[in-house]
A and B are shown apart, each in its own frame.
Chain A
Amino acid sequence: MRSLTTPPAVVTAGASMFADSLTAQGVEVSAVRWQPPAGDAGSLATVMGDPRRRAANASALEAMLGAQAHLVDVQPAAEALGLERGQLLHAGPPVSWDQASGPMRGALVGALLLEGLADSPEAAERALAHGDVTWEPCHSRGAVGPMAGVVSPSMWVFCLRDEAHHATSWCSLNEGLGKVLRYGAYGVEVIERLHWMSEVLGPLLQRAVRAAEPVDVRAIISQMVQMGDEGHNRNRAGTLMFLREVLPAMIDSGLPTSDVAEAVRFVSGNDHFFLNLVMPACKLSCAAAADIPGSTVVTAMARNGTDFGITTSGTGDTWFTAPANTPEGLFLGGYGPQDANPDIGDSAITETAGIGGLSMATAPAIVRFVGGSVPDALATTQRMYDITVGENPAFAIPILEFRGAPTGIDVTSVVRSGVLPQINTGMAGRVAGTGQVGAGLVTPPMGCFTQALDALAAAVPPA
């Protein structure tokens, strides 16, 4: 029982005059900047009143913080994920060919060209429109893919293990920036690079990884977050630390030194290489928090270029979707806002796990790249603590006195505050085949959260 005292401070929500009257009495006041919640007030009351919620969210946070992520293997997707010829994975919630955006279509076309399932982009489009091949979300197999996130059987994937929760997650190898498949480009150079990755880079990394101790990806993330990487749009320190871990084994692999040199040049020249290791590590963290009855914690945020989808711990695999927003930020070369496709990619799994845009404060070097400022970045991360259930001490942010990353987005806090999770992201060209056009900031549509709230309310057992 909390005993009665003279309150040293009072929280006020609502009429400001009560706050003023307390201030006049010399009492410290913490006034809520209140606004009416989004969504159905009845659903919100049901979920807030759910006696399971607090403990369930504490369990979800504990699971997220306790998840491990060791890189244990690198394999072709056919072996790792059981993908068969004619089966593809993609980013975000499910999407039909009719609904698919330019970059998603472009990446699917590229995958068919890579797999030899079509001999021209036109033939690939016809095959896709006729339903000759099938595609499903990466998330449905426990994998994640950046931007279009398209994975075909011959592409190699990282295999990450969470021994604490006996779980595995997978992600493709990062192709670099510019004209690349994940941004919807499928030109000759794109397909050639993918062939090289499958024939040289993948097998080399496999040998290196298998020869050495599993790489502790979470430990690298912990360090990179203190070195100016937020793990979504900046992975420079992480990439180089990863290379440091696998380089001796790559050299010792017995493969031609020219291949090793080219692979090292490729990895070290692509500041985003480590993103594809951060993402499955984050997926493992979020997956560990899945399926806890009563928990309102978000377990995935993912976009397919058309819709934004989220899942929550208390509602299993159900996607709550709404049309994706278009990012705002800076554009490459002559591209402008009219060229940008709506938000796309599974990479928002980084924000779901507390880094990326949520930890923007730790990456002041890239705030301009995404069209922000340093004070904005600091304010953003501090704001994110208000919509998350806890902090991750393993991902400590130096400029905030080593406060842990805001972790575990809470649906009820989002709808009540109107504050949406901040996502840092790349921007794909609207037209298939274009590639990257810029980078910027984006938020999920509120509709995802209000739908999730209704489903969470429906799942509350009657009192």
Chain B
Amino acid sequence: MRHVSVRRGSYVDSVTLMQVSRRVSACDGVTSALVAMATDLNLELAAGLGFDVPAASPNEMLLAVDAHSDDALTAAVAEADAALAEASHPAVGTGLGSAPPPVTVRAAAARTNATVALVSTPGQHAFADAVDALDAGLHPMVFSDNVPLDQEVALKDYAARDGLLVMGPDCGTAVLGGVGLGFANVVRPGPVGLVAASGTGAQHLMALLDGAGTGISHCLGVGGRDLTEQVAGRSTLRALDLLDEDGATSLVVVVSKPPAAAVAEEVRRHAASLRTPVLFALLGPGRPDLTETAAAVVEAAGGTWVAPEHWSGAVAAGRPGGHLRGLFTGGTLCDEAMLVASASLGRVASNIPLDPGWALAEDLASEGHTMVDFGDDRLTRGRPHPMIDGSVRLERLRAEIDDPGCGVLLLDVVLGLAAAPDPAADLAGTVRAATAAGLPVVVSLVGTRDDPQGLRQQAARLSDAGAWVFRSNAAASRRAVDLLTPAGAADA
């Protein structure tokens, strides 16, 4: 029994819809359910589940349910309606004089003394919401991805006139005076201020610093494209100024892929003019990895570096003849793993390849050594980020276990605010299945002792399931490469 319908005029964010989908899927007699905005990706997903997909636009909502019986179907649709009603009508005060919920960023700003706006609306609309924040005098943090490049430039120029900082677009993380925005780890306060063009790179660096006892004043995301020639470091320069003026910051670290040459020069010149020392952590071939950078920062901040912890796994050698398969939620973590791996393995195919010739096909099917970034723009349209909903990666993980071409699995698990509440539990069963199949699983665990998921509990749970667990992504990657076993080696 199937139900497919399209609803107009009802927008709900993708995370809430994921929760609604889960609630409907959990109804008795339901075999599959999808409640999602009707983006191309989600329509495809519905078609993949065997539904006849009607024509619909991304501003409309798709409801698709498959159940064993008519009664179950009716009950499931009713459940979906109830869940959507709850989601779209949050309880609000209606007493005399209480203002109704704000409908724009400016309206929301007027109701509080906010200094920052976190914008995570769909990419094609985020510009308008961020400008609205600027108009209200707030620094916008734009979590949204898929924001057109010309809009990013226009937004940053708009902000410059007001002396405000645009964090993003595609800014996954920020920490402002101890408050984490987006995907942020709970870090101790301290003297290091970060300017980050890379969300997971910044998260990893902060986690490593926190692990070594060095705290953070602020972490300002600037968006992955900020140091390209087109954007020309507009937010990076502003962020450097803000950190230079900040009393709590005595050391600034810029985390980015190597910038465009002209931009790099401008940023370095600007950094040299500041009172606060600036360290550059530029990630690329032949450059220090994030762990080495963390060590340098800890030393520069006057701390003592201790090598990050790790826990050994149950399977000590890869499946013979198998290739390295890396499945990531964090783009920078994937990138760093590819740099480590390709140094000894050569070609690593990916959807974010180091070399344009190493690009994966549209379907992302593995080819030899392969690494996939599930957090890439193209895979998150109309869908929650894999740090929140790991189901797409989990599905791929199972497929890799069944693929004899897969010799070693490398995964990242990113803890922190807004990330999945218990990612180790979500992964443990699959890690056990891989272990049972003789497939070693290496986990790069990014998190701090104070993260809500509990770093130690997560590490223990993954380790108990048989995984190798490393707090350094570079170390995890090196171990994964070391575990690879050539064909025929198992017989030796």
Contact = CB atoms under 8 A, between A and B. Distances in A.
A10 B114 contact: yes
B432 to A, nearest CB: 28
16 contacts: A7-B176, A11-B136, A12-B120, A15-B13, A15-B14, A28-B114, A30-B114, A34-B11, A34-B129, A36-B11, A48-B132, A49-B155, A379-B94, A382-B100, A386-B102, A416-B103
Interface stretch (A19-27, A91-99, A226-234): A19-27
Interface in B249-285: none
A388 to B, nearest CB: 10
B181 A3 contact: no
Nearest to B131: A48
A2 B139 contact: yes
B242 A16 contact: no
Contact of A36 (B122, B132, B243): B122
B304 interface: no
Contacts of A258: none
- Identify the interface centre among B59, B108, B151: most chain A CB within 10 Å of its CB: B108
B109 A4 contact: no
B460 to A, nearest CB: 24
A131 interface: no
Interface stretch (A37-45, A106-114, A158-166): A37-45
Given A12-B118, A30-B109, A36-B59, 4 more contacts: A2-B137, A4-B217, A13-B117, A13-B121
A48 B418 contact: no
Contact of A417 (B97, B103, B112, B114): B103
B112 A28 contact: yes
Contacts of B197: none
B113 interface: yes
Nearest to B124: A41
A243 interface: no
A375 B124 contact: no
Nearest to B165: A2
A412 B122 contact: no
B118 A11 contact: yes
Interface stretch (B156-164, B222-230, B308-316, B474-482): B156-164
Interface of B: 11, 13-16, 59, 90, 94-97, 99-122, 124-125, 127-129, 131-133, 135-139, 143-144, 151, 154-155, 158, 161, 163-165, 176-182, 217-218, 220, 241-243, 245-246, 384, 388, 417-418, 452
Contacts of B151: 45, 49
Given A30-B109, A386-B104, A17 B388 contact: yes
Contact of B127 (A16, A48, A385, A418): A48
Contact of B102 (A9, A32, A378, A379): A32
Contacts of A18: 118, 120, 143, 181-182, 418
B75 to A, nearest CB: 26
A49 B155 CA distance: 7
- Identify the interface centre among B105, B115, B218, B246: most chain A CB within 10 Å of its CB: B115
B418 A400 contact: no
A317 to B, nearest CB: 27
Contacts of A44: 125, 128
A12 B100 contact: no
Contacts of A6: 176-179
A15 to B, nearest CB: 5
A270 B104 CA distance: 41
Contacts of A48: 127-128, 131-132
A340 to B, nearest CB: 24
Contact of A51 (B94, B143, B158, B176): B158
A219 interface: no
Contacts of B95: 375
Contacts of A207: none
Given A18-B143, A25-B417, A44-B128, A10 B100 contact: no
Nearest to B243: A4
A441 to B, nearest CB: 16
A14 B163 contact: no
B176 A1 contact: no
Q: How would you classify the secondary structure of chain A's contact residues: helix, strand, loop or mixed?
A: mixed
A400 B112 CA distance: 17
Given A18-B143, A33-B101, A36-B122, A8 B115 contact: yes
Contacts of A463: 154
A7 B136 CA distance: 15
Interface of A: 1-19, 21-22, 24-25, 27-28, 30-37, 41, 44-45, 48-49, 51, 54, 375, 378-379, 382-383, 385-387, 399-401, 412-413, 416-419, 463
B15 A15 contact: yes
A33 to B, nearest CB: 4
Given A4-B246, A385-B107, A386-B107, A13 B417 contact: no
A448 B95 CA distance: 33
Contacts, number: 211
A271 B57 CA distance: 50
Contact of A9 (B59, B104, B113, B135): B113
A85 B209 CA distance: 86
A115 B107 CA distance: 51
Nearest to B217: A4
A346 B117 CA distance: 39
A1 B245 contact: yes
- Identify the interface centre among B100, B155, B241: most chain A CB within 10 Å of its CB: B100
A416 B179 contact: no
Can you list the 5 inter-chain pairs with the closest CB atoms, starting with the nearest?
Answer: A6-B177, A14-B120, A417-B103, A386-B107, A1-B163
B117 A12 contact: yes
Given A11-B105, A32-B105, A378 B176 contact: no
Contact of B120 (A9, A13, A379): A13
A463 to B, nearest CB: 7
Given A11-B117, A14-B120, A385-B107, A30 B96 contact: no
A22 B181 contact: yes
B100 A379 contact: yes
A1 B240 CA distance: 12
Nearest to A419: B103
A16 B13 contact: yes
Contacts of A412: 128
A382 B118 contact: no
Contacts of A4: 176-177, 217-218, 220, 242-243, 245-246
Given A13-B121, A35-B11, A378-B97, A418 B103 contact: yes
A14 B388 contact: no
Contact of A416 (B104, B122, B136, B177): B104
A14 B108 contact: no
Contacts of A386: 102-104, 106-107
A399 B95 CA distance: 13
A45 B131 CA distance: 9
A52 to B, nearest CB: 12
B108 A11 contact: yes
A399 B97 CA distance: 8
A297 B175 CA distance: 37
A7 B179 contact: yes
Given A14-B120, A375-B96, A25 B179 contact: yes
Contacts of B132: 48, 416
B102 A21 contact: no
Given A15-B14, A22-B181, A1 B94 contact: no
A417 B323 CA distance: 51
A7 B177 contact: yes
B107 A32 contact: yes
Contacts of B164: 1-2
Contacts of A401: 97
B13 A14 contact: yes
Nearest to A412: B128
Contacts of A417: 103-104, 107
Given A48-B131, A378-B97, A382-B99, A10 B117 contact: yes
B118 A13 contact: yes
Contacts of A385: 99, 107, 110
Contacts of B144: 14
